[in-house]
Chain A
Amino acid sequence: MKIEGSFTLEAPIRTVWDYLLNIEEMSQCIPGVSALETIDTKSYRGELQIKVGPIKAAFGGTVTLLELEPPHRLVAEIVADDRRNASQVKATFTSILKSLADGTEVTYTIDANVRGRLAQFGQAVAQSTAKKMAAAFGSCMQEKIDAGETA
């Protein structure tokens, strides 16, 4: 299953990159993420709660940064499972940053393999949930960047 999308931030590419790579700060902008801890400079452990209608999922797992090409491209691997829904997710997350005249475009691609009960919800629900999360993430990041600039 492939999920794609993009959003734009009003900040230079270098600033956006630095904010994205500050994983602990950045993760506060992902709706539903909690208990993030750093394992080492490249891996992190955390929990993610997602609610779609009556269905609640709670994933726990790790994120590992695989490739970093500052300030343009990052690739991460996500491995997580939801015990209650007996589901596993393995995903590759790729993000590409592009300089625009008045900001930076952030494109993301998630190539996910979902197994277990949650798999039946498939592409449509995952894509729309990701889009909503990305929109919330984008505006939260913008706020952090704006606050950082004035501070």
Chain B
Amino acid sequence: MSFELLQPDSLPGALKALAQHGDEAKVLAGGTAIVLMLQQKLIAPTVLVSVGRIPDLAYIRSEPDGIHVGPLTTLRDMERSLVIQTHFPLLAQASGEVGNIRVRNQATLGGNLAEADYASDPPTALLALGTQVTATSLRGERTIPLEDFLIGFYTTDLEPDELITDVFIPASAPGSRTTYLKYRSRSSEDRPCACVAAIAAFEAETCTDLRVAVGAASEVPQRLPAVENLARGQALTDELIGEIAAGYADNIDTLEDIRGSAWYRTQMIRIHVVRALEELRNGRR
């Protein structure tokens, strides 16, 4: 393993290094994913650009329309943030479900999103929340909705010279109920076999808005707006919940890996969408 380690202490410095080395360079944040890939020699960059010394990339900033989370924020800080626990409990939950505490202390949000491993927790919660990712390069800055950012297995919309510089999560309707369910098929510290993030707003018993994202069961986490819309203006009866769960189970092309077969994942989607929606209807937050 031989590469040059660059540790720029400013954002422009890091962007310049990435622009210079292009495809030959890799960003290093918490290192939990990339160090494994280097050790296994799956990637062989000639330059590693560490972003750890750039100031002000780790933050959780609350604004009237939502929160901004810096890419270097660790999953542990997100899990423990009072702002996130209060306004986005779903995200605190999903961050807190990742691996084990040693991983969460080290793993960053930017690294989790850029790694784009299908068997991940935060992206599914963030998709349900309508997250926007900001990518910056010397060429400028652009904001990408998360559904367009995540393209496929280990593949994102990022160009080699771009850094994730901000993650924006819009506020949900006041009084929204949310939940995150992670299903593990192996050990208690494992990545998910399937996971469900759900957000619902109610007026009395009537559901006025529903958002459901299912992750880890297919190449990228998915929302199905046509199925979500079945709930709009309706009471979440057992029958309707069953119909929505079937909509997700039937329309997601599930994958097969060591955590479960495609058929098994379809069943897990059905069961966990039912559980998530029952939880929202019954009022737990």
Which chain A residues have a beta carbon within 8 Å of chain B's beta carbons? 52-55, 84-86, 117-118, 120, 122-125, 127-129
B239 contacts the other chain (CB 8 A): no
B86 contacts the other chain (CB 8 A): no
B153 with A53: CB separation less than 8 A = yes
A128 with B44: CB separation less than 8 A = no
B255 with A53: CB separation less than 8 A = no
A122 with B155: CB separation less than 8 A = no
A127 with B255: CB separation less than 8 A = yes
A124 with B256: CB separation less than 8 A = yes
Contacts of B153 in A (CB 8 A): 52-53, 124-125, 128-129
B118 contacts the other chain (CB 8 A): yes
Residue in A53, A85, A86, A123 whose beta carbon sits within 8 Å of that of B116 in the complex? A53
Instruction: Please list the 7 inter-chain residue pairs (A to B) with the smallest Cβ-Cβ separation, ordered nearest first.
Output: A53-B154, A124-B255, A124-B257, A53-B155, A123-B256, A125-B153, A55-B42
For this complex, 24 residue pairs linking A to B, each with C-beta atoms less than 8 Å apart, are A52-B153, A52-B155, A53-B116, A53-B152, A53-B153, A53-B154, A54-B26, A54-B37, A54-B42, A54-B154, A55-B42, A85-B41, A118-B42, A120-B40, A123-B257, A124-B118, A124-B255, A124-B256, A125-B153, A127-B255, A127-B256, A128-B152, A128-B153, A128-B219
Nearest A-chain residue to B259, judged by Cβ: A124
Nearest B-chain residue to A129, judged by Cβ: B153
Residue in A52, A54, A84, A120 whose beta carbon sits within 8 Å of that of B41 in the complex? A84
Contacts of B258 in A (CB 8 A): 122
Contacts of A127 in B (CB 8 A): 255-256
Contacts of A125 in B (CB 8 A): 153
| Extra 14 A-B pairs, beta carbons < 8 Å, given A55-B154, A124-B118 | A53-B152, A53-B154, A53-B155, A54-B154, A55-B37, A55-B42, A55-B43, A117-B40, A122-B257, A123-B256, A124-B219, A124-B255, A127-B256, A129-B153
Contacts of A118 in B (CB 8 A): 42
- Main SS of the interface on chain B? loop
CB distance from B216 to the nearest CB of A (A): 10
> Assuming A52-B153, A128-B152, is B41 touching A86 (CB within 8 A)?
yes
Contacts of B118 in A (CB 8 A): 124
Docked CA distance A122–B44 (Å): 21
Docked CA distance A47–B24 (Å): 22
Contacts of B257 in A (CB 8 A): 122-124
- CB under 8 Å from chain A, chain B span 117-166: 118, 152-156
Docked CA distance A129–B154 (Å): 12
Docked CA distance A123–B40 (Å): 19
Docked CA distance A118–B75 (Å): 28
Nearest A-chain residue to B117, judged by Cβ: A53
Nearest B-chain residue to A53, judged by Cβ: B154
Docked CA distance A118–B37 (Å): 11
Docked CA distance A87–B155 (Å): 22
CB distance from A24 to the nearest CB of B (A): 30
Contacts of B26 in A (CB 8 A): 54
Docked CA distance A55–B40 (Å): 11
Contacts of A122 in B (CB 8 A): 257-258
CB distance from A127 to the nearest CB of B (A): 7
Max count, chain A CB within 10 A of own CB: residue among B37, B40, B42, B43: B42
CB distance from A84 to the nearest CB of B (A): 7
Docked CA distance A84–B44 (Å): 9
Contacts of B152 in A (CB 8 A): 53, 128
Docked CA distance A117–B156 (Å): 23
CB distance from B39 to the nearest CB of A (A): 10
Docked CA distance A18–B4 (Å): 52
Nearest B-chain residue to A125, judged by Cβ: B153
Nearest B-chain residue to A55, judged by Cβ: B42
- CB under 8 Å from chain A, chain B span 153-196: 153-156
Nearest A-chain residue to B115, judged by Cβ: A53
Max count, chain B CB within 10 A of own CB: residue among A54, A55, A86, A117: A54
